[in-house]
Structure 1
């Protein structure tokens, strides 16, 4: 099993685990709230059904879902396009991103993606609004061109906090948020410190994963994924 296939399996497993937990919590809250709605309407039978997870009343279930269910998962992928990434590794990284997104688009209707590339510039390839449309987002992944130059990993992650996980850019306040960074490791010529960025209050509650592009595993990767 190649390193990218193995990494894909690990990322899928971890994301799936998080989604299952979130769905379970939301399902419990939906049906609990639904039972209260039915009970207050004087229907003990309907309340029992709601408590058992079969909330049949459309109006009550719809209202409850709007109030209780926050299943949306926002996944920001951060791609190192610096000069230290070999062309072959960059292609592999794009294939990895494509496969992760395709897998989750097919089975996770609550998942939305954004893609940021960094090098001499930090560039939003597509944001969460564009990432809702599977075919369009996957085409954008295939069209990504490497930007080269320096490795500003910390600044790229800060960009995600400022410009991706931002309500004016399509993010939702109560959504589960995850960052996946693909890099060859060591930050180079970055004005921001990686440890400072990932220990900031704005990173609280955000799950983060690091994928090594090449055989090297630098301390920065380990630091980010803890």
Structure 2
């Protein structure tokens, strides 16, 4: 390769780099991410709320405020999140079903109208009830939705919870448990909540000291529920339209670059052949001119 060809190729390489930089398609950008975003898919959530007599009216009001805050954190619609609610004490009572309210405003009004029933703490009976009555197509359960229960209670169950909890979870329902108050400072009662909650205890079991503390825990609990009802996706930091434009620019640049390489190579080879022919002709002429003439 002669010096002129070398500089021509060097200039084209510089042009390629310049075009790549101007397009913004730099190394590593395709794989850079801003982080994770929780986008909830279809979720059918049943709130299982303790309305036993051991909860004061003020604390029951605080629990209702917590429920309202949870509703505000979710995208409520027939195609996204549906929320049903069952209050339990000695016996369970469905306040509304999954398909009863299809927007946040309607749900918030329904929460405000809940009245505490009082009585004992039949947690096991309540778990059986929602398995048999709440997660059914006739009351709004969708076959392609994530099934979730959020249990809020202030005390130890007065019936057995082991088998009802297992039967519920065996149907594919994910169970979150929130224990409120000093009753769960004992290992025995805390173990009862562990039995009810889904396997990943760290993200499915919460113990708060008072009903006032529910407000502080709302964000963490909402996030855990959101993650349970989503496919966690990493979102790229670039606009897809911009990426497509940059990719087209890169391909065109490579095409131009390849064409220039081919043209330069073809032109250079033609010049080399012409120079070679000229050299051979000069050599031939020199050779013929150097032969002495014959003597007469």
Question: Which TM-score tier does this pair reach, normalised by the shorter chain?
Answer: 0.5 to 0.7
Matched, 1:113 2:80: no
Tell me the equivalent position of 2:165.
198
**Counterpart selection for 2:103 from 109, 112, 133:** 133
Q: Deviations over 1:144-203 (max 9, x none)?
A: 111001101111121111111001111112210100000013112x3xx21101112663
**Counterpart selection for 1:147 from 117, 127, 140:** 117
Q: CA RMSD in A?
A: 2.5
CA 116–134 in structure 1, closer or farther in 2 if over 3 Å, else same? same
Higher RCO (CA < 8 A, seq sep 6+): 2
User: How many residue pairs get matched?
Assistant: 158
Give the CA deviation at 1:123.
Answer: 1.0
Give the CA deviation at 1:107.
Answer: 9.9
Runs of 4+ deviating beyond 4 Å: 17-20, 106-109
Give the CA deviation at 1:222.
Answer: 2.5
TM-score by length of 1: 0.63
Alpha-carbon separation, structure 1, partners of 2:50 and 2:37: 25
Does structure 2 conserve the Cα–Cα contact (< 8 Å) formed by 1:121 and 1:147?
no
Alpha-carbon separation, structure 1, partners of 2:150 and 2:76: 19
Trace 1:1-226 onto structure 2 (pairs within 5 A). Answer: 20=39, 71-105=41-75, 110-188=80-158, 190=159, 193-200=160-167, 203-217=170-184, 218-219=189-190, 220-226=192-198
- The structure number with the bigger radius of gyration is 2
CA 197–120 in structure 1, closer or farther in 2 if over 3 Å, else same? closer
Structure 1 residues without counterparts, runs of 5 or longer: 1-16, 24-70
Structure 2 residues without counterparts, runs of 5 or longer: 1-35, 199-296
